[in-house]
Amino acid sequence: MTAEQVLEVLPRDLSAYRQGNTGVDYVHRFDSGRPGPHVLINALTHGNELCGMTAVTHLLDTGVRPLVGTLTLSFANVQAYESFDAAKPFDSRQIVHNMNRIWSHEMLNSSEDSPELRRARLMRPVVEAADHVLDIHSTIQDVEPFWVYPAHARNAAVALGVGMPQIHLVMPNGLGSGTPLIEYGAFGQAAHHGAAMVVECGQHFKTSAGDVALAATQGFLAHFGLIAPGPVAPSRPARRYELLQTCIVQSSEFRFIKPCVGFEVFAQGELIALNGHEEIRALCDDCTILMPTREPIVGREAVYLAKPIS
């Protein structure tokens, strides 16, 4: 049964969470009154990635408050989220812009306009106020959850410290297709103190993705001391990959050579996809693909090419 046929989770009404306490709709901040870091947990950068909604509403509904420091909880692209149509569940990812590619000063300061840009401009001070950021996402295909983060030691330390997911996608040179939230401003700089990471929690509409999102969020908060640590689960060695290239769809005729869901492995030079007249081939032995597109759209990401790292 395909992902399109199974919707274990559907959007819930978020109107009760609109009125926050920061002057920005759908943003809630809780200060412990004790010294400690300011941690931002962000959901719904993409409107159809429902696991973040599940985790953040749980924290709000259960009244979680930080033991130290400050906790901010936010819902980002609520307008896209509210456009959800169960008959076309992938279409509510965005209204105009991919909200996770526009976090450069050039884009945010430009004259260009869209719902995503307007929302990101409102959220700039929210992100800038945080010491550490967790941005919660999910995947088209039902693959193992994984971290995504710039290749700064501070990010790796947090991912290893939290312990789950065990898979890491490390970006030594950025994403290559725009600026994600976790590379906005100081978070993209080697000298910054703060961790900023994405957790990809599993398939968009599976209940298990919400479970992973909540567990990863709780682990992230416990790592920085904002909540008490939970039971220590048995751990496995981390599997780490380095992003080598982000391939963009150049042709409406784009196609993979074989069906791909993610984590398929190719030998150096092996053909992965045809992108019009361009051939996408493996860049190394054990070249591993992540996030293969479900529906090729010219100008959007086709697939990430990565290699295993120790």
User: Looking at the structure, do residues 190 and 150 belong to the same domain, yes or no?
Assistant: yes
Task: Among 175, 195, 223, give the residue marking a domain's end.
Answer: 223
39: in domain: yes
185: in domain: yes
Q: What is the CATH number of the domain that holds 139?
A: 3.40.630.10
Query: Distance between CA 222 and CA 58 in Å, rounded?
Result: 16
User: Looking at the structure, do residues 284 and 197 belong to the same domain, yes or no?
Assistant: no
User: Looking at the structure, do residues 12 and 121 belong to the same domain, yes or no?
Assistant: yes
Query: How many domains are contained in the chain?
Result: 2
Task: Among 195, 223, 251, give the residue marking a domain's end.
Answer: 223
Angle at 245 between CA 240 and CA 250, to 5 degrees: 140
231: in domain: no
The band of 310, judged by pLDDT with boundaries at 50, 70 and 90, is confident
Q: What is the CATH number of the domain that holds 294?
A: 2.40.50.630
Using a cut of 0.75, tell me whether the model's pTM lies above it: yes
Task: Among 160, 190, 223, give the residue marking a domain's end.
Answer: 223
User: Looking at the structure, do residues 31 and 128 belong to the same domain, yes or no?
Assistant: yes
User: Looking at the structure, do residues 60 and 158 belong to the same domain, yes or no?
Assistant: yes
User: Looking at the structure, do residues 218 and 278 belong to the same domain, yes or no?
Assistant: no
170: in domain: yes
User: Looking at the structure, do residues 178 and 209 belong to the same domain, yes or no?
Assistant: yes
233: in domain: no
User: Looking at the structure, do residues 155 and 92 belong to the same domain, yes or no?
Assistant: yes
228: in domain: no
43: in domain: yes
- Predicted confidence at residue 29, as pLDDT, reads 98
Look at residues 237, 239, 295, 296 and name the one whose alpha carbon lies nearest to residue 263: 239
Domain span including residue 74: 3-223
Average the pLDDT over 159-177 and give the result. 94
Whether 235 has a pLDDT exceeding 80, the answer reads: no
> DSSP letter string over the chain?
--GGG--S------GGGS--SSSSTTEEEEE-SSS--EEEEEE-SSTT-THHHHHHHHHHHTT---SSSEEEEEE--HHHHHT--TTSTTGGG-SSS-TTSB-SHHHHTSS---HHHHHHHHHHHHHHH-SEEEEEEEESS----EEEEES-HHHHHHHHHH--S-EEEEEBTB-SSSB-GGGSGGGGSTT----EEEEEEEETT-HHHHHHHHHHHHHHHHHTTSS---PPPP----EEEEEEEEEE---TT-EESS---S--EE-TT-EEEEETTEEEE-SSTTEEEES--SS--TTSEEEEEEEEE-
**Of 88 and 236, which is predicted with more confidence?**
88
User: Looking at the structure, do residues 194 and 300 belong to the same domain, yes or no?
Assistant: no
Query: Distance between CA 237 and CA 167 in Å, rounded?
Result: 9
- Predicted confidence at residue 1, as pLDDT, reads 38
76: in domain: yes
Query: Distance between CA 117 and CA 103 in Å, rounded?
Result: 9
pLDDT tens readout for residues 2-45: 444 589 999 999 999 999 999 999 999 999 999 999 999 999 99
pLDDT tens readout for residues 275-287: 999 999 999 999 9
What token pair was written down for 28?
A: 């809630």
- Predicted confidence at residue 6, as pLDDT, reads 84
